[in-house]
């Protein structure tokens, strides 16, 4: 049996933390964060937007990304007239990336001195354990919010990548007549090749994750005369199981593919640099999350008979605009983020 109470548990003869009594509790509590890890990795970013928007010292700026849609081939004449005059003008447009200082992730918790007096654990170690638990909650919330924002920011496919595409979603099959279908990995590979990329990163769960697991152990020759495992390994598709993706879409078997550099997690630390404070009874600083490395704003306030600890972070997913290609360009509507769906007969 187990018991749950909002108050702290008094110290008895023998009292073990759950992580000591049941070793599995540690790994089960520390969830995987595939999208956060990808967005903050060197594969995805050189930190250009992040550095511009939040350069340190508690500053928050808006990045105005300027761009001109590329010239389409129809604008290039096959007649060489060596013109001296022209009425053609390029023009510019822009997109904004700005972090809302009222939006992000925050937790706060009160630790009462009188409650600490009754438990086995020391004040410092208990406070540290609560902070670690709060960081865990915040990093999981960040992963969920980034997933939802990514799902809402997906672009389209090129005009010549139409197989299975309807309303901006490419439908693929992973199983046909009880056998693993080549189609899904083939279409993912085609999308990657058609925009000239060496790698495409996919995130999803359910049928698409099970599909990639089967491909890892695939063998032999299918009805096309293709060895599934070898074919999948040559496509340059890197899949990460991300269970939150299913909840981000109306269809649980939807998933998305991301081009490196097409999306960035941008955050602002208000308690950095000159905004740090340490007056003994009040602390305001930045602490790095030990799992993701993301700097988290941290505040600790003395309430005379206790302390309030508050970790928080303002962040946003900024993505490439969907209008960076002109309407008559084959890449119109493409921003490097693609929406897929598994539908099996």
Which of 69-78, 122-131, 306-315 has the weakest average pLDDT?
122-131
**pLDDT for position 14:** 46
Q: Which of 122, 57, 103, 134 is nearest to 308 (CA)?
A: 134
State the alpha helices, DSSP H only, in 152-182.
none
List pLDDT tens digits, range 284-301: 999 999 889 999 999 999
List pLDDT tens digits, range 54-74: 777 767 778 888 888 889 899
**pLDDT for position 186:** 95
Distance CA 227, CA 217 (A): 11
**pLDDT for position 308:** 93
Mean local confidence (pLDDT), 258-284: 90
pTM score over 0.85:
yes
Q: Is the pLDDT of residue 12 over 50?
A: no
Is there a contact between 80 and 87 (Cβ–Cβ < 8 Å)? no
Q: Is the pLDDT of residue 10 over 50?
A: no
**pLDDT for position 13:** 46
Distance CA 304, CA 281 (A): 9
Q: Higher confidence at residue 259 or residue 24?
A: 259
Mean local confidence (pLDDT), 79-95: 88
pLDDT above 90 coverage of the chain, percent: 54
Distance CA 173, CA 207 (A): 9
Which of 13-22, 101-110, 208-217, 255-264 has the weakest average pLDDT?
13-22
pLDDT above 70 coverage of the chain, percent: 90
Q: Is the pLDDT of residue 23 over 60?
A: no
Is there a contact between 198 and 235 (Cβ–Cβ < 8 Å)? no
Which of 14-18, 170-174, 210-214, 221-225 has the weakest average pLDDT?
14-18
Q: Collapsing DSSP states into helix, strand and coil, what is residue 142?
A: helix
What are the distances in angstroms from CA 263 to CA 64, 240, 319? 15, 16, 4
List pLDDT tens digits, range 155-209: 999 999 999 999 999 999 999 888 888 999 999 999 999 999 999 999 999 999 9
Q: Which of 147, 154, 159, 214 is nearest to 184 (CA)?
A: 214
Which of 6-15, 223-232, 240-249 has the weakest average pLDDT?
6-15
């Amino acid at each position: 049996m187990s018991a749950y109470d909002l108050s702290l548990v008094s110290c008895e003869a023998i009292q073990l933390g759950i992580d000591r009594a049941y070793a599995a509790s540690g790994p089960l509590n520390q969830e995987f964060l595939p999208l956060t890890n990808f967005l903050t990795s060197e594969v995805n970013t050189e930190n250009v937007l992040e550095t511009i928007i939040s350069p340190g010292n508690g500053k928050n700026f808006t990045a105005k990304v300027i761009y001109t849609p590329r010239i389409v081939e129809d604008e290039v004449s096959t007649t060489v007239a060596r013109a001296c005059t022209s009425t053609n003008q390029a023009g510019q447009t822009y997109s904004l990336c700005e972090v809302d200082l009222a939006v992000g992730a925050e937790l706060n918790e009160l630790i009462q001195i009188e409650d600490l007096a009754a438990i086995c654990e020391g004040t410092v170690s208990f406070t540290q354990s609560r902070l670690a638990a709060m960081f865990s909650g915040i990093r999981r919330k960040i992963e969920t919010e980034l997933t939802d924002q990514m799902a809402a920011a997906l672009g389209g496919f090129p005009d010549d990548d139409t197989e299975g595409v309807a309303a901006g979603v490419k439908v693929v099959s992973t199983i046909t007549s009880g056998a693993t279908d080549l189609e899904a990995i083939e279409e993912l590979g085609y999308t990657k090749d058609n925009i000239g990329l060496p790698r495409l990163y996919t995130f999803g769960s359910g049928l698409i994750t099970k599909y990639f697991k089967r491909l890892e152990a695939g063998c032999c020759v299918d009805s096309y005369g293709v060895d599934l495992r070898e074919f999948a390994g040559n496509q340059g598709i890197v899949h990460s199981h991300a269970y939150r993706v299913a909840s981000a879409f109306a269809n649980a078997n939807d998933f998305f593919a991301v081009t490196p550099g097409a999306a960035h997690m941008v955050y602002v630390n208000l308690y950095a640099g000159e905004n740090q404070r340490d007056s003994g009874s009040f602390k305001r600083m930045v602490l790095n999350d030990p799992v993701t490395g993301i700097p988290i704003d941290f505040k600790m306030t003395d309430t005379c008979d206790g302390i309030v600890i508050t970790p928080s972070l303002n962040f946003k997913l900024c993505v490439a605009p969907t209008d960076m290609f002109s309407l008559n360009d084959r890449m119109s509507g493409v921003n490097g983020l693609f929406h897929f769906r598994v539908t099996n007969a």
